[in-house]
Amino acid sequence: MPDLLKEVKFVKGVGPNRVALLNRLGIYTLEDLITYYPRTHEDRSIPKKIIDLLHGEEALIEAIPVSRMSEIKIRRNFTMYKLIVRDDTGTCQITWYNQTYLKNMFKVGEKYKFFGKVNKKFNKVDMISPVFDSENSLKNTGKIIPIYPTTYNLPQNTLRKIIENGLAEIDEKLEDTLPEYLLSKYNLCDLNNAIKQIHFPDNFENFNKARKRLVFEELLSMQLALLSLKSQYEVESEGISLDKNVKMSELIDKLPFRLTKAQLRVLEEIDNDLESSKPMNRLLQGDVGSGKTVVAEIAAYKAVKSGYQVAIMAPTAILATQHLESFTSLLDDTGIKCELLISGISKKKKEDILERLKNGEIDILIGTHALLEENVVFKNLGLVVTDEQHRFGVRQRSTIAKKGDNPNVLVMTATPIPRTLALILYGDLDISIIDELPPNRKKIDTFPVTKEMDDRVNNFIKEQIDSGRQAYIVCPLVEDSEEIDARSVLELAEKYKNVVFKDYKVEYLHGKMKPKEKDEIMERFKNKEIDILISTTVIEVGVNVPNANIMVIENAERFGLAQLHQLRGRVGRGEYKSYCILKYQGNSDVIRKRMNVMKATNDGFIISEKDLELRGTGEFFGTKQHGLPEFKIANLFEDMQVLKLVQSIAIEIIGKDPKLEKEENKKLKKLVKNKFQDRIEI
Ligand code: ADP
Ligand code: MG
């Protein structure tokens, strides 16, 4: 059995430079390497005639050199090699640079295969630096070649070779991860075969079989993990039941607004959980602006008044700070004590907070990841709320929950996913949905525009600011990059401060700044001391500035739809008509469709469905923004059928063998443990 955990640096062809590049792709071990699946495949098995070649395409030709290679020294260390070849339809010139070893490679009159990019001008056909094979060789051509997502400085060919070396080390000696009974029942190919054929398929039929098997395995292990987690909660020892005499309505009656029907329904579901002795494990889904915070506040009130402490965890300091403000202003006259714990605070202050937390003098502790630290000790933690959960791993969720004795857990997320999918993916949680916005909301008008509209957009922003509003501008990058053609915060800030908006107050914000600086900028924006805030997506989650009514997103094509929707949700929070301007580059069909989805609807659920639909396998827009588990190979849209199938299989397996203890399920147990060891005890 090959050692899959072996560091990738021990694989043939991997020196220190390449280790760094591979690491950048998330490849650290031999296992990472062989499960680094291709983005697509290129069929180099079907040759074209020279006469049929099209400018710009990559193609395979079978041709015969008509003369010996000519060598042209352009300058020192720079030599061009040219070869004229022909087939029965025409001739083609092939050029390589500096590849001395090619000089005597080709024999006049023999047939070779060349695969490369075609340059065609005035019927003169060129191919630059193609890969090639002699007539009967299949090294570089004549087969289906994997194309990997790669990184700057790590050429496709090199990466392919390294993966090939990795596969050679495995030598088809992997132990299968699925039990025989599943393989035969569902007609799945074995693991070694699957791994080989997913990279270097003999034909597309084999590739599809390989993919089917790997998708099955990936989704099944997730389903098994979720189901056993859920059964674990259910059998676990008693949780905390909160005091039935503490009524949520005590606080609800004091609110400055009326809760929506959806908020009330969700609160009732939560209230039932809190009063029952079974620990709550609930996901609260609700579109941006649907009012999740107040739900958390009411739940927290109930917990504190029943004698317990509450932890509120948010993904950024900005958001945690905002929550603190919201909590304190609402709970001010109830005698409940809230504190903030983020990494930016002084050592002295921190020690003081930790001390009072341990004594039970603090009722609600709000913070970031800082809450997870070991020295954060509660006296009696009764409720944990994590906001915008897609930023936190499940592991962090359980780390914080372990600071209490089976506390109630509420996970809040603003990324709506289709309910069917949610039921499957969050199999370990109960789900509540706020499917209604507060009545005072105005629809946000969305306009996809191209660069040519810059001046008009800027004038529009000026008009709005002149009438008292504020604007956000979001860029994908912090600073300019040579590799990525997209706008950056620093570049835009420079230009807007000094030129375009020089009569206005422009500031910028990004994740690399110190938390204190960030908070200060945010505070000034809230206080209207800043007109235009240029930032990265750090302002994405939860930020609430009702006076801001314009959201401009630069290079909108680079964001997932769910994320665009989140960003757009930063405006339209007050009484003012709000606008979202999506500046995009590129004119592919998919980009236009995506932009039009954003224009057509403000409904997060529809957007997330469309997003899944418009994303192809392994596409650039990862699943990250959805808060869904990240898959190496499965695509939740394309593989919905498999997902449903494995869900029923998993239910059956766990039903008969909840802890996967039977001999026949040994492999499944190992599979689940390997993938989810930090979150599951079976
Ligand atoms: P999200 O669900 O995106 O976290 P928030 O909880 O930040 O949304 O709520 C957005 C804004 O809506 C807040 O200013 C909040 O006070 C307000 N709000 C919440 N519920 C209601 C309601 N029922 N009626 C009016 N305003 C509400
Ligand atoms: Mg929120």
H/E stretch holding 163: helix 156-170
- Tens-place pLDDT, residues 338-367: 999 998 889 999 999 999 999 999 999 999
Quote the distance between the C-alpha of residue 202 and its chain's center. 32
pLDDT band, very low/low/confident/very high, at 46 (cuts 50, 70, 90): confident
Residue 326 three-state SS = helix
For ligand 1, atom 4: residue with the closest CA: 292
User: What is the percent of the chain where pLDDT is above 90?
Assistant: 58
Query: Is 60 exceeded by the pLDDT of residue 620?
Result: no
Model pLDDT, residue 619: 39
What CA–CA distances, in Å, run from 640 to 175, 421, 422, 644? 28, 9, 12, 6
CA distance linking residue 238 with residue 41, whole number of Å: 53
Query: Is 90 exceeded by the pLDDT of residue 266?
Result: yes
CA distance linking residue 390 with residue 582, whole number of Å: 24
Model pLDDT, residue 665: 94
Question: Both tokens of residue 506?
Answer: 């422009």
Residue 293 Cβ < 6 Å to ligand 1: yes
CA of 291 to the centre of ligand 2 (A): 7
- Tens-place pLDDT, residues 540-565: 565 789 899 999 999 999 888 888 98
CA of 541 to the centre of ligand 2 (A): 7
Residue 542 Cβ < 6 Å to ligand 1: yes
CA distance linking residue 673 with residue 517, whole number of Å: 42
Residue 570 Cβ < 6 Å to ligand 1: no
Q: What is the DSSP letter of 589?
A: H
Q: Provide DSSP, 221-290.
A: HHHHHHHHHHHHHHHSPP-----TTS-THHHHTT-SSPPPHHHHHHHHHHHHHHHSSSPPEEEEEE-TTS
For ligand 1, atom 12: residue with the closest CA: 291
Amino acid at 509: L
Model pLDDT, residue 309: 97
Query: Is 70 exceeded by the pLDDT of residue 177?
Result: yes
Residue 288 Cβ < 6 Å to ligand 1: yes
CA of 292 to the centre of ligand 2 (A): 6
**Ligand closest to the CA atom of residue 293:** 1
Residue 290 Cβ < 6 Å to ligand 1: yes
Higher pLDDT, 227 or 386: 386
CA distance linking residue 223 with residue 226, whole number of Å: 5
CA of 47 to the centre of ligand 2 (A): 56
Residue 364's DSSP bridge partners are 310, 338
Q: What's the N-to-C CA distance of the chain in angstroms? A: 24
Ramachandran area for residue 26 (φ above 0: left; ψ -120 to 50: alpha; else beta): left
CA distance linking residue 329 with residue 125, whole number of Å: 73
Residues with Cβ within 8 Å of 225's Cβ and at least 6 positions away in sequence, in order, are 672, 675, 676, 679, 680
For ligand 1, atom 10: residue with the closest CA: 289
Length of the chain: 682
Residue 366 Cβ < 6 Å to ligand 1: no
Higher pLDDT, 28 or 588: 28
CA of 511 to the centre of ligand 1 (A): 26
For ligand 1, atom 18: residue with the closest CA: 291
Average pLDDT over residues 271-291: 90
Residue 488 Cβ < 6 Å to ligand 1: no
CA distance linking residue 104 with residue 101, whole number of Å: 7
Model pLDDT, residue 624: 43
Model pLDDT, residue 498: 93
Among 257, 326, 432, 442, the mutation site with the greatest number of ligand 1 atoms within 8 A of its Cβ is: 257
For ligand 1, atom 15: residue with the closest CA: 291
User: What is the percent of the chain where pLDDT is above 70?
Assistant: 91
Question: Both tokens of residue 41?
Answer: 């495949």
Residue 257 Cβ < 6 Å to ligand 1: yes
Question: Both tokens of residue 421?
Answer: 């999918």
pLDDT band, very low/low/confident/very high, at 622 (cuts 50, 70, 90): very low
Model pLDDT, residue 497: 93
For residues 513-528, one letter each, b for 16 or more C-beta atoms within 10 angstroms of the residue's C-beta and e for the rest, the string is bebeebbebbeebbee
**Ligand closest to the CA atom of residue 312:** 2
For ligand 1, atom 19: residue with the closest CA: 291
Among 389, 441, 540, 544, the mutation site with the greatest number of ligand 1 atoms within 8 A of its Cβ is: 544
pLDDT band, very low/low/confident/very high, at 483 (cuts 50, 70, 90): low
The whole-chain average pLDDT of the chain stands at: 88
Tally of CB atoms within 10 A around 348: 8
CA of 388 to the centre of ligand 2 (A): 7
CA distance linking residue 562 with residue 519, whole number of Å: 25
Query: Is 90 exceeded by the pLDDT of residue 415?
Result: no
Query: Is 80 exceeded by the pLDDT of residue 569?
Result: yes
Query: Is 80 exceeded by the pLDDT of residue 487?
Result: yes
Write the secondary structure of 238-257 as one string of H (helix), E (strand) and C (coil). CCCCCCCCCCCHHHHCCCCC
Residue 135 three-state SS = coil
pLDDT band, very low/low/confident/very high, at 615 (cuts 50, 70, 90): low
- Tens-place pLDDT, residues 78-112: 899 999 999 999 999 999 998 888 888 999 999 99
Quote the distance between the C-alpha of residue 110 and its chain's center. 51
For ligand 1, what atom is nearest to the CA of residue 288?
Answer: 3
Amino acid at 384: V
Residue 78 Cβ < 6 Å to ligand 1: no
Query: Is 50 exceeded by the pLDDT of residue 617?
Result: no
Model confidence, pTM = 0.65
Residue 285's DSSP bridge partners are 413, 433
Residue 544 Cβ < 6 Å to ligand 1: yes
Residue 382 Cβ < 6 Å to ligand 1: no
Model pLDDT, residue 417: 66
Residue 286 Cβ < 6 Å to ligand 1: yes
pLDDT band, very low/low/confident/very high, at 242 (cuts 50, 70, 90): very high
CA distance linking residue 433 with residue 226, whole number of Å: 20
- What are the chain's domains? 1-41+152-174 (1.10.150.20), 46-142 (2.40.50.140), 242-276+291-413 (3.40.50.300), 445-601 (3.40.50.300)
Residue 259 Cβ < 6 Å to ligand 1: yes
For ligand 1, what atom is nearest to the CA of residue 260?
Answer: 23
Query: Is 60 exceeded by the pLDDT of residue 515?
Result: yes
Residue 414 Cβ < 6 Å to ligand 1: yes
Residue 2 three-state SS = coil
Residue 116's DSSP bridge partners are 59
Lowest mean per-residue pLDDT among 461-465, 524-528, 617-621: 617-621
For ligand 1, what atom is nearest to the CA of residue 387?
Answer: 4
Residue 545 Cβ < 6 Å to ligand 1: no
CA of 288 to the centre of ligand 1 (A): 9
Average pLDDT over residues 489-515: 92
10 Å CB burial of residue 109 (0-12, 13-18, 19+) is exposed
Find where tokens 């590129």 sit. 586
Residue 617 three-state SS = coil
Query: Is 50 exceeded by the pLDDT of residue 126?
Result: yes
pLDDT band, very low/low/confident/very high, at 142 (cuts 50, 70, 90): confident
CA of 290 to the centre of ligand 1 (A): 6
CA of 295 to the centre of ligand 1 (A): 9
Residues with Cβ within 8 Å of 207's Cβ and at least 6 positions away in sequence, in order, are 41, 144, 197, 198, 201
- Tens-place pLDDT, residues 301-345: 999 999 999 999 998 888 898 899 999 999 988 999 999 999 888
For ligand 1, what atom is nearest to the CA of residue 295?
Answer: 6
For ligand 1, what atom is nearest to the CA of residue 290?
Answer: 2
> Maximum distance among all alpha carbons in the chain?
96
Find where tokens 């709550």 sit. 280
Query: Is 50 exceeded by the pLDDT of residue 169?
Result: yes
Closest CA to 533 of 604, 471, 446: 471
Higher pLDDT, 680 or 464: 464
Sheet order of strands, 548-553 included:
444-449, 578-583, 548-553, 470-474, 532-535, 506-509
Question: Are the CB atoms for 623 and 629 separated by under 8 Å?
Answer: yes
Question: Both tokens of residue 289?
Answer: 């602006």
Model pLDDT, residue 143: 83
pLDDT band, very low/low/confident/very high, at 623 (cuts 50, 70, 90): very low
Question: Are the CB atoms for 46 and 64 separated by under 8 Å?
Answer: no
